[in-house]
């Protein structure tokens, strides 16, 4: 019941054609069951809505932003938000130390954070699944070597390893993403390997083998779809972790470089003004928190809906 995502599930409700009512496909039924469990968790639905809004904001940032995110104005430095004395409607959330519009930078920052999350998760998931499939399916010394390498990666605190990798590769957003993807992928390797080892002895796999399916087909087409549940949950958690870690690297000066309006980098630039201008510090962090919280809420809902063991706990 697991090869589905939240978006697909969403489409699954509402559009109920007459043909479908007669003969519901198994897939459709699974989607509905999934949505039933997911929707029971009100927090998850809220998280999904907020996340949807953030995605829309990111896409529409060029239309919504009143200013360019990197345009400076030396007439309006450290201007407070509109509701405070000295605020102006021209800069609703105020300006930073060199007169850039906070609101516009935050809106464009959403693009960076989501972009980081998507790329890191796609890389970590695809590499992790491929390696995990190989380890779990072939077993033996190959499995041992792969798992020991993963143990080594997991032996380091992820942020420290990412920091050191960026020191080797050079500071910057791309290298930060590579480093974070590398430290996140062992979780996918472990999960995939564990499910593959559990699944590969099942009868449907033997049946497919007897019919003549090769190893690649067995791994990807036969076994993988039945291991997706926990992987989707882990992917959601990794998505929020990637955003947090990238922001942390940006904050330490090793992630996206100024003047990129990445939220963590914005915080780093704002640090020296914290006791003078609360808004330059508060808003970027709030944006990170809300985004990560929304994704984690969705993750909790997905876990409830996809993991039969965790159901109704």
Partner 1 sequence: MQRFLLSRIAVLIPTFIGVSIVAFAFIRLLPGDPVQMLAGERVVSPERHAAIMHQLGFDRPLVMQYLSYLWGLLQGDFGTSIVTKRGVAGEFFTLFPATLELSLCAIVIAVALGVPAGVFAAVKRGSWFDQTVMGAALVGYSMPIFWWGLLLIILFSGVLQWTPVSGRISLLYYFPQATGFMLIDSLLSDQKGAFGSAVSHLILPSIVLATIPLAVIARQTRSAMLEVLGEDYVRTAKAKGLPRSRVVGVHALRNALIPVVTTIGLQVGVLMAGAILTESIFSWPGIGKWMVDSVFRRDYPVVQGGLLLIAMIIMFVNLAVDILYGVINPRVRAR
Q: Does 313 help bind partner 1 (rule: CB under 8 A)?
A: yes
The site string for partner 1 over 169-208 (x = CB under 8 A, - otherwise) reads: -x--------------------------------------
By CB under 8 A, the residues from 39 to 58 that bind partner 1 are 43
- Whether 41 contacts 19, CB under 8 Å: no
Least distance between partner 1 and beta carbon 119 (Å): 19
By CB under 8 A, the residues from 225 to 244 that bind partner 1 are 240, 244
- Cβ closest to partner 1, residue 172 vs residue 253: 253
- Cβ closest to partner 1, residue 147 vs residue 177: 147
- Cβ closest to partner 1, residue 118 vs residue 289: 289
- Whether 249 contacts 162, CB under 8 Å: yes
Say how far residue 207 (Cα) sits from the centre of its chain: 36
- Cβ closest to partner 1, residue 73 vs residue 282: 282
The site string for partner 1 over 143-162 (x = CB under 8 A, - otherwise) reads: -----xx-xx--xxxxxxx-
- Cβ closest to partner 1, residue 55 vs residue 216: 55
Q: Does 288 help bind partner 1 (rule: CB under 8 A)?
A: yes
Q: Does 167 help bind partner 1 (rule: CB under 8 A)?
A: yes
CA-nearest of 117, 104, 86 to 266 is: 104
For 239-271, b/e burial (b = at least 16 CB within 10 A) is bbbbbbbbbbbbbbebbbeebbbbbbbbbbbbe
CB atoms near residue 103 (< 10 Å): 20
- Whether 77 contacts 70, CB under 8 Å: no
For residue 251, give every residue at least 6 positions away whose Cβ sits within 8 Å of its Cβ, in sequence order, or none: 264, 265, 267, 268
| 3-class DSSP assignment, residue 88 | strand
What is the DSSP code (8-state) at residue 252? T
Least distance between partner 1 and beta carbon 3 (Å): 26
Q: Does 311 help bind partner 1 (rule: CB under 8 A)?
A: no
What Cα–Cα distance (Å) separates residue 284 from each residue in 74, 258, 289?
Answer: 21, 14, 9
Near partner 1 by CB under 8 A: residue from 99, 172, 253, 259: 253
Phi, psi for residue 261 in degrees, rounded to 5: -80, 50
Least distance between partner 1 and beta carbon 170 (Å): 7
By CB under 8 A, the residues from 254 to 283 that bind partner 1 are 254, 264, 267, 271, 274-275, 278, 281-282
H-state helical runs in the chain: 6-12, 18-22, 26-40, 42-64, 102-138, 140-155, 158-169, 173-199, 203-211, 215-217, 228-251, 263-270, 278-306
CA-nearest of 1, 54, 11, 108 to 292 is: 54
Near partner 1 by CB under 8 A: residue from 122, 164, 220, 221: 164
- Cβ closest to partner 1, residue 138 vs residue 156: 156
Least distance between partner 1 and beta carbon 202 (Å): 24
Q: Does 8 help bind partner 1 (rule: CB under 8 A)?
A: no
What Cα–Cα distance (Å) separates residue 282 from each residue in 77, 121, 206?
Answer: 17, 27, 57
Site residues for partner 1 per CB under 8 A: 43, 148-149, 151-152, 155-161, 163-164, 167-168, 170, 240, 244, 247-248, 251-254, 264, 267, 271, 274-275, 278, 281-282, 284-286, 288-289, 292-293, 296-297, 300, 313
């Amino acid at each position: 019941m697991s090869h589905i995502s939240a978006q697909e599930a969403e489409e699954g409700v509402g559009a109920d054609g007459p043909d479908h009512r007669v003969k519901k496909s198994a897939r459709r039924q699974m989607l509905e069951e999934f949505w039933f469990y997911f929707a029971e968790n009100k927090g998850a639905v809220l998280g999904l809505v907020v996340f949807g809004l953030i995605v829309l904001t990111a896409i529409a940032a060029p239309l919504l932003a009143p200013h360019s995110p990197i345009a400076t104005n030396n007439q309006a430095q450290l201007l407070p938000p509109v509701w405070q004395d000295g605020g102006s409607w021209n800069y609703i959330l105020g300006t930073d130390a060199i007169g850039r519009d906070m609101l516009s930078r935050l809106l464009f920052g959403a693009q960076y954070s989501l972009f980081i999350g998507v790329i890191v998760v796609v890389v970590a998931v695809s590499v992790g699944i491929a390696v995990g499939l190989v380890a779990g399916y072939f077993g033996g010394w190959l499995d041992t070597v792969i798992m020991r390498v993963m143990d080594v990666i997991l032996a380091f605190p992820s942020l420290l390893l990412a920091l050191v990798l960026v020191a080797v590769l050079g500071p910057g957003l791309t290298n930060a993403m590579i480093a974070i993807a590398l430290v996140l992928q062992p979780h996918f390797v472990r999960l995939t390997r564990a499910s593959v080892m559990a699944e590969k002895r099942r009868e449907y796999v033997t049946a497919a083998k007897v019919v003549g399916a090769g190893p690649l087909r067995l791994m990807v087409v036969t076994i993988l779809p039945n291991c997706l549940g926990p992987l989707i949950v882990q992917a959601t958690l990794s998505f929020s972790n990637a955003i947090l870690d990238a922001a942390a690297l940006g904050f330490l000066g090793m992630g996206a470089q100024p003047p990129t309006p990445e939220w963590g980098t914005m915080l780093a630039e704002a640090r020296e003004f914290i006791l003078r201008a609360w808004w330059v510090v508060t808003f970027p962090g709030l944006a990170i928190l809300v985004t990560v919280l929304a994704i984690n809420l969705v993750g909790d809902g997905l876990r409830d809906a996809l993991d039969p063991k965790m159901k109704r706990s």
